[in-house]
Structure 1
Amino acid sequence: MKPDNPHFFSRIGIAIASFFKIIGNSDFAGGVQALRRAGRPGTTADDTVAAAKPAAPLLKEAPPDGALQLLGLLQREARFIDFIQEDVAAYPDADVGAAARLVHEGCRKVLSDNFSIDPVRDEEEGSAITLPEGFDAAAIRITGNVVGEPPFNGHITHRGWRVIETRLPKLAGSHDLHIVAPAEVEL
């Protein structure tokens, strides 16, 4: 689709508004810079579109060591893997509840011994809040009918959790993290 060609006075208004938006918004400024580069001789319309699109973030693979160590701690303190691997459908609810209480207690101990965890938001669940433009989308997930641009008005349905400190135990160099629970043999 061919863009409209605004008349002279419209272009002055666009230039002034763009000037202030470039000064106040680095993302917008980067987009303008990409469009200007793409408008140089020897570039095509496809180059312009490609230059205007932000690059996809590079994904990095997380090393499994911490996850394996945590899984081992949960198994040792809470028999977590044993509980999850068990088919509990055949057991009465009272037995499942009793087992869940022990697993819960052990998991809670692992968390309190190895992590300092605080809520992402301090407000109580159900509280009304306003999310301003530029809110941290990694720390806040918006649900429901999301339309338009911030500020958004809503209610907290979950305060979220943030790890403040991690205190996993140090391991000997020969420790195999893939063995999260050794086999047990009684003699």
Structure 2
Amino acid sequence: MTEQPSLSFFARFWLAFVCFWRIWFNPPFAQAVLPVREADKAGLLPAGATPAELPNKTEPVEKQPPAPLPPEREHAPALQVLAMLQREGRLIDFLQEDVAAFPDADVGAAARIVHEGCRKVLRQYLTLEPVLPQSEGDAVNVPAGFDAQRIRLTGNVAGQPPYNGALKHHGWVTTAVKFPSTSPAMDPRVLAPAEVELP
């Protein structure tokens, strides 16, 4: 083993300062330094030995699975969509209202406002396309090996594909999502704040 040159006091001081902060904020660096510390504590560190010459006696650190998110954080994107539909179209207000007691004309007028606001949200944040390009009522061919998530068969389903049928609904598929990012400090459960008008 070659003799390592001794470091000056200031070089050792600077090295201790840098290593102190790297051990605090860089877990892989701290893991790499640990064998040297353990060998030194056990009196097995020969003078001038480098970390590469030491046996690695540390056990591999078993990664802990991340803690499960609380329900409001796990479902935050869905709650965000609902909050946007409420903000632009008052969707929650409309659905929470008992519309059976109102005349059809009032319900229709409210539905027009809800429709306009909710449609604005969809067009602003989602790009939607029909699953099948044909119009409703058109004859369509469902080939063998079709994607059951994109095409649902109804009626008299018997035998094996290909099938021939009439399109009842062309379906929808999202091709792009452009939701804004939200601050972790915001509570996703608050879909609409209470509004208080001051005199």
What range describes the TM-score normalised by the shorter chain of this pair?
A: 0.5 to 0.7
- Match among 154, 167, 182 for residue 165 of structure 2: 154
- Residue 171 of structure 2 corresponds to residue 171 of structure 1: no
**After superposition, what is the alpha-carbon deviation per residue over 1:34-67, rounded to whole angstroms, capped at 9, x for unaligned?**
xxxxxxxxxxxxxxxxxxxxxxxxxxx9931111
C-alpha deviation, 1:123, in angstroms: 1.2
State the AA in 2 paired with 1:175: M
Matched position secondary structure for 1:186: coil
Residue 16 (structure 2) aligns with: none
Residue 3 (structure 2) aligns with: none
- Residue 130 of structure 2 corresponds to residue 123 of structure 1: no
Q: TM-score, normalised by structure 2?
A: 0.62
Q: Counterparts of 1:88-103 in structure 2 under 5 Å?
A: 88-103=99-114
Matched position secondary structure for 1:136: coil
Matched position secondary structure for 1:154: strand
Q: Counterparts of 1:65-84 in structure 2 under 5 Å?
A: 65-84=76-95
How far apart are the structure 2 equivalents of 1:112 and 1:129?
28
How far apart are the structure 2 equivalents of 1:125 and 1:93?
28
Divergent runs of 4+, >2 A = none
% identity of equivalent residues? 55
How far apart are the structure 2 equivalents of 1:132 and 1:165?
26
Matched position secondary structure for 2:95: helix
**After superposition, what is the alpha-carbon deviation per residue over 1:115-167, rounded to whole angstroms, capped at 9, x for unaligned?**
00000001111111111110111100000010111111101110000000111
State the AA in 2 paired with 1:77: E
How far apart are the structure 2 equivalents of 1:63 and 1:172?
14
Matched position secondary structure for 2:108: helix
How far apart are the structure 1 equivalents of 2:105 and 2:141?
43
State the AA in 2 paired with 1:70: V
RMSD over aligned Cα atoms: 1.5
C-alpha deviation, 1:170, in angstroms: 1.3
How far apart are the structure 2 equivalents of 1:88 and 1:177?
28
How far apart are the structure 2 equivalents of 1:85 and 1:78?
13
Q: Which runs of 5+ in 2 are unaligned?
A: 1-70
C-alpha deviation, 1:173, in angstroms: 2.0
- Residue 147 of structure 2 corresponds to residue 136 of structure 1: yes
State the AA in 2 paired with 1:109: K
